[in-house]
Structure 1
């Protein structure tokens, strides 16, 4: 059995829809343009959707047509129906947001993006709706509902699309008689139907409940459907006779009314039977009439006439006009006995109440939902904008109530199954407040206006100086509550107060906001430190006459990534300016006069240093300290003024510079005999440069490598800055070609970044 929308003839538009139409005449597209846009959107989607099927087995184009028709039945404008085709077409576009934005505008592109994200979220989390009792699964289920809430609140058009899409999917499974996944049916019953109820879209709510009930409990569904069909003819004859009798009586009493039969919903009948432990024969709204009148006064006049015609059951009367339901539903409900003492229900409401009950405020709100801009980009300013903001807040309150309902049901179910409040607390830790423009912001429970400001923008949080909550100025430490509208009072410039970081004072509750405030103070402290370091380095460069030097290059030469890093350690007094002075004063390229003649190592006791000057015998030679050559390096000689021939590696920068200035003093040299007089091989000192992460035991580990390879270490120089160690080892080798193996072993030591010959 399927619920269908009643044909009640021409109905007046709700106040929100009337406001939308008023703005439409002031600049929004007229009905013809709206219809043309719908046709254009469908034509755009047809080639993309044709021939494709969704994972439910539905034909993509048929599903889109069905969703558009459902939205039309609840009063959505053609522009909203057009959005349906664009959302589904987005599944088959490479860059849907860009394409839709260029063809139909940014409002539609935003809807496509958010709906696709929500669908992806639902599909990935649907398994959490399995019949599980452990707390982890229930927590995932509740978290998914929260994320859906945020998505719906961001753009309320999304909720209508998702509700209509889910209803169309259930209709497909019912019509095609294909099995409906239990997780999908349960999600429809536990999440979507309560949401439709809270938003007042009862037509969709009833059908979602009936179809989900059909798939989840097919035997119970068939039993009630069979009971309804057994006396269907007799019941319909009786209700038609009562309808005609009441219509005639109201006309005679001067009450203009429309009297019609009310549809029967299997799930509501079953729920009433279960909740009140009733037999089917005791369910009064199996047969029912609905009376639609012009105003509230006529509602009570019609009620009086009904009670004159039939005997009323005193315990079965509800006045939802005087005491509306939480979702805004209004009507008079009474149960009377007909001439054969059979009970039936009568509902009495105004045309406006009926429109609200059938379509709900969300259907009319959707036409204008896109921030302060309509679908055509025309600003909805003035009184309309204020009233739309009020409507949006009203819808948010219903969404929050739906969230609480869901959390409470889950907690009750967990308690009934032996759980210890699995659902409790998962929604108590979050609140949802609004900006003055109606945007929804999620915050942790107990959050203050400063937390709210930081959530909107970091700079706004820094400059926050006051706040208005629902129009009233409040202290900054006031905890916010869900549904409140918050407006921030900010200074033009400035920063946070140190008091905000004091947890005892209660200014900040959000870890994110506290981290942003702390980061501001850290950034200010770093700026002061860098400024002090820069000032000290600048003074040193002025004393040395090197103000033209590039600071980044100087920092790189000293082992820093950039100049700011150098200034930071200097400003913290963690790095001596003496290191910069040494870098600015490199050693003279020529050999100093006091440099001793080549000092023989332990193997040079009776012979020379193993270097021969080509064409000259017994000429004094010495190995240069700058490059420390060793066989089989390619070498060259340079005649000094008083110390003989200085031997350099050919690739030595000092040697190249001296030869360039005095080419006549260059002299060819070569390696001679490398044996010492005592029969041992000659050894030569070379420098090895090591860069590593500074740690305890690093020097010992590297020295052990040299010891194992039987290399004598004659000197070590180390320097450590901000956790990085630079080391220079002087070792004796007989052949520099053997050094590569030792360097590879040093590089494998824990923490060593590089090891190379200087």
Structure 2
């Protein structure tokens, strides 16, 4: 196939999405032929792409790709990139990267066409007619939502990622093309302004690098990481680059000696192996220096070796041979063959003490494992004819992509969706077991509750207790490698807003928030209505708004009904004061237009009346676990996003710190006049370590008409005193004061106080 341009001169390009300027009009005149070098570079790219595609596509497929190229070239006619190259050079470069993975003809066509919908306003229907629905769907999934107006750049970016990731969940080729697109943009980012460089590099590091890692695309992962690092911290990048080049010369003798020793030892043992020297990426060295507070000279394992053998068993034989050659460092061995990483990566990792006492890392794997390690999910296309054992990787990828769809169903908006997905892109993992010995991989820091939601959403919702290694454990307990986890459920159990403070995975967070939004909708709606009514009252506005004003308010706030608006206020997604001021602004507009009479006695913005707290509001109002306020305490309220109102004591250290960060989310609250429940409170009692003292203290608490919900104790090292910790239920401060007086009269009680975080 000869992919020549539609005209004798290559089309001129502008920048593509995220990285480059908006395109010229489709009617832009054809450029002059002054930029010969750029044109020649474009033709050279076409020639390379043509050669790569001819290796594995059929003649009929090549013909379709040629049609897509001609259409893309015609659409981008008159566009230039910032580098001065014709714009068509970018789609060709993206297609060439996809061709390296041997993606199918549809994906190559989508790579060539990936900017025509966004840049040239080509309709999806036109692409369907010309190239078929699959190609059009891929291009649509890659196109940004330029025609929709968003409230902020962050919201627009979040919605674009949401669209792309959901398209990826339906067809993984979307993200492979997008990663190829981002890789070429990063390679040519040097022509952008410093501000754009930093923004795009940060976005790459936060989203695209983790996605590449999650899909096992190791080569792209490493290159994107280094490219983003070079634009985020150019001085650090240059300094480290010089240091590594210098070290490369200094350590050449050591590397050569290790290579010779390993080659000779493996050959003598009858193990056929290919040995490659491997250098840490610049960002990998920088991250190790930063995380472990090391200087460059202290990062000794800049170099490592990859040993590729011919069979599964040979991996372990080679490991034993290397351990006999050099002494292994304790705690530096990892078996990712028996338990692969989340992205399907398999290899044995060991760090040995090499010549001159230098630590050297070895990775031992088979040819098949090496393919997956380098190409990840793309290995499905690269080696689909000769490799039938990638089903496990495909299943893992499918499970993660399916989890994106689950999160989407339970998520309120795009920013929240992106937040959950970013959490799940966290690369480090822990591996735990179900009681039936099934391995479950979770992000590092995941808790028992994350495990429950990973098994099934219903199990997570109904969790009441758990066992780790056959012993009772709290739901917030962080899991460690090798833990055996058993979940205890009850149909009567329901998620608590407090769970959001310690769950780690995006699936768990989205499921809990979804439950709180739906099940507690009536409570949130009622609370939101109270908050908005009070906010309107301070502005002398009648809460019964006229019909036209209500309709305009709902249109501008994107709410479907007043109840939805109230619910958003009740869970903290909207601020009652801001909504009230917005209503006042709408009323002023109506007054000026003469549609409604001017408001009388408008005293302007006033002070909000405090919200009364009764303790029976349900999940929409929570008492903060840090300070556990009780009636009689001075209190204040924090409207937390998607979690409703959290009530703190005014002297709570945690509340003071959070209020300083987000003062607009705090409102005045007071205790209601009639309270019909009891409240938890923590107390600490220091007693002399004597037989029966715990029983006497517990009896006194019962005599004082208080209920014990928790008891714990700590001995001092001399075993002379014991600190007792109780959580008791009381009516309020007066009841607590009476209880503490009674406990002080117990013999051997040295001190008692109320415990606060």
Compute the TM-score of the two structures, normalised by the length of structure 2: 0.44
Larger radius of gyration: 1
Higher relative CO (Cα under 8 Å, sequence separation at least 6) belongs to 1
Compute the TM-score of the two structures, normalised by the length of structure 1: 0.44
